[in-house]
Structure 1
Amino acid sequence: MKLSRCAGAFSALVLTAALALTGAGTAHADDGGATPAYVALGDSYTAGVGAGSYDSSSGSCKRSTKAFPALWAAEHAPASFAFTACSGARTGDVLSGQLGPLNASTGLVSISIGGNDAGFADTMSTCVLNSDSTCLDRIARARAFIQDELPAKLDGVYSAISSRAPHAQVVVMGYPRFYRTGGVCVGLSDTKRKAINAAADHINSVIAKRAADHGFDFGDVNTTFGGHEICSGSSWLNSVTFPVDESYHPTATGQSRGYLPVFSSVA
């Protein structure tokens, strides 16, 4: 999720900002080491969209060598590393195109998923380009989906992971709050910022509950992103930027100092 210094001039291009194209990833294996085999699943927050240094073979999935799974694998040298996370992925895309590398020898799995199912991109563009009331209405619809429909979709993915990799530790990564609230933030009112943050907290609470019920671990990245939200003056998240698909996503620093420490502490 980049609102460049919360600048005020937003064009219609913002309508396409956020979690880009959907598609299935291709596994990349790296033999060696005694650390158990690791598979990284999910959406653009795991793929590393917004961090740059994309693997050219990953195409529109935009998997980055600066994403936290790649950084962790480089440090720990797992027996194998399969990176199938993809920009724009929804729960159905994980089920249909990302689970191939999982097997009984998989020892570690990470996943971030659910934001695209809840309409993240449309919600953000609606809030950037429209009034407070229109923004709040769109967030309310997203939160209704998160509460009523997302849990079953997450259950489907989590059950499939357990079935294919029954011995793996599974770490479900959450999403950061986007904005610093209070004070001046050019481009978005405090009302919008607070509502967007509350929606992020809501989806995290649902994801954490479903993860716990499946015996998975949850990584709360707000512990590291606190003080580094958009409009904080030291943001680890992109604001509206070009390419627009990198908007509202962690920077390379957000991956290395926001996501990686949380994942490492759990894994």
Structure 2
Amino acid sequence: MRRSRITAYVTSLLLAVGLALTGAATAQASQTAAATGYVALGDSYSSGVGAGSYISSSGDCKRSTKAYPYLWAASHSPSSFDFTACSGARTGDVLANQLSPLNTGTGLVSISIGGNDAGFSDVMTTCVLQSESSCLSRIATARAYVDSTLPGKLDSVYSAITSRAPSAHVVVLGYPRFYQLSGSCIAGLSETERSAINGAADYLDSAIAKRAAAHGFTFGDVRTTFTGHEICSGSAWLHSVNWLNIGESYHPTAAGHSGGYLPVFTAGA
């Protein structure tokens, strides 16, 4: 009788372990099956404007082989890689032009979007060319837009991604702060303007992170990796004003993608 109880206990234990292992294997197989393709969506911070080595067929979208999506795909070899991020893209452009590669076999999606909707380019143009008061006023307008309008636009994009690629793990990348305060810059914007621009980046990132979390997405905060590599740091991973190629101004360099964006995306993926 005693041996019977021991035998029954051992049998139950082995059965429980077997079920646990089977469950783990099934979950792993399911995860592997889902992660069959990678789609990179978004704006110029994902396409790689500022990193150089642009893919000729990408035209004005300026997709770079040194951008973080391309670097990740090269090192992880997903079964498929679709790179539709485009310079200048707003939320509406993502919805209209970038989502076609998404499907039930898409396992991973990356996206950076929202900066152009909030008027990033106009903010910087105003701050560089006009007075400090005009700069601060334009930043206040951008912050108001982030409060009133941007969340709904982000929701539309994020919902569309989930609808088209329900099995995908989605990583939403944020934006870096532009300036190291009390840094090495001796000309250009005032410290007040630089501080306000950094604050606007924080404000935008907070809004994006909140909407990403609401959709069950992962938010990748690049402000940590860019710390010490902002403009005025002496080791910048961001272009300042580039008068020879104005479109690259305030965008990450190749080092910004490999050292700033790639590690954050890899950790989130």
Do they superpose with TM above 0.5? Answer: yes
Cα distance in 2 between the residues matched to 1:238 and 1:193: 15
Question: For residues 173-252 of structure 1, what are the structure 2 equivalents within 5 Å?
Answer: 173-183=173-183, 185=185, 186-241=187-242, 242-252=244-254
Runs of 4+ residues deviating >3 angstroms: none
CA contact (8 A) 1:146 1:203 kept: yes
Cα distance in 1 between the residues matched to 2:241 and 2:85: 23
Q: Deviations over 1:67-94 (max 9, x none)?
A: 0000000000001000000000000000
- SS of 2:53's partner is coil
| Equivalent AA in structure 2 for residue 228 of structure 1 | H
Q: Deviations over 1:22-55 (max 9, x none)?
A: xxxxxxxxxxxx9620000000000000000000
CA contact (8 A) 1:35 1:76 kept: no
Q: Which runs of 5+ in 2 are unaligned?
A: 1-33
Give the structure 2 partner of residue 160 of structure 1: 160
- Larger deviation, residues 178-187 vs 49-58: 178-187
The alpha-carbon deviation at position 131 of structure 1 amounts to: 1.4
| Equivalent AA in structure 1 for residue 266 of structure 2 | S
Give the structure 2 partner of residue 79 of structure 1: 79
CA contact (8 A) 1:36 1:106 kept: yes
Give the structure 1 partner of residue 16 of structure 2: none
CA contact (8 A) 1:229 1:236 kept: yes
| Equivalent AA in structure 2 for residue 233 of structure 1 | G
The alpha-carbon deviation at position 258 of structure 1 amounts to: 0.3
- SS of 2:237's partner is coil
With CA pairs under 8 Å and 6+ residues apart, which has the higher RCO, 1 or 2?
1
Give the structure 1 partner of residue 6 of structure 2: none
The alpha-carbon deviation at position 235 of structure 1 amounts to: 0.2
The alpha-carbon deviation at position 183 of structure 1 amounts to: 4.6
Give the structure 1 partner of residue 23 of structure 2: none
Give the structure 2 partner of residue 40 of structure 1: 40
CA contact (8 A) 1:35 1:77 kept: no
Q: Deviations over 1:107-126 (max 9, x none)?
A: 00000000000111110010
Cα distance in 2 between the residues matched to 1:253 and 1:190: 25
Greater helix proportion? 2
CA RMSD across the alignment: 1.0
Q: Residues 183, 49 of structure 1: CA spacing in aligned structure 2 closer, same or farther, 3 A cutoff? A: closer
TM-score (norm 2): 0.86
Question: For residues 111-150 of structure 1, what are the structure 2 equivalents within 5 Å?
Answer: 111-150=111-150
Q: How many residues align?
A: 234
Cα distance in 2 between the residues matched to 1:244 and 1:50: 10
Cα distance in 2 between the residues matched to 1:114 and 1:147: 12
Cα distance in 2 between the residues matched to 1:97 and 1:118: 20
Q: Whose Rg is larger?
A: 2
| Equivalent AA in structure 2 for residue 190 of structure 1 | E
| Equivalent AA in structure 2 for residue 181 of structure 1 | L
Establish whether residue 266 from structure 1 lines up as the match of residue 264 from structure 2.
no
The alpha-carbon deviation at position 184 of structure 1 amounts to: 5.3
Q: Which runs of 5+ in 1 are unaligned?
A: 1-33
Question: For residues 50-65 of structure 1, what are the structure 2 equivalents within 5 Å?
Answer: 50-65=50-65
Cα distance in 1 between the residues matched to 2:41 and 2:153: 15
Q: Equivalent pairs: percent with the same residue? A: 71
The alpha-carbon deviation at position 129 of structure 1 amounts to: 1.1
Cα distance in 2 between the residues matched to 1:116 and 1:171: 19
CA contact (8 A) 2:35 2:106 kept: no
- SS of 1:78's partner is coil
Give the structure 2 partner of residue 102 of structure 1: 102
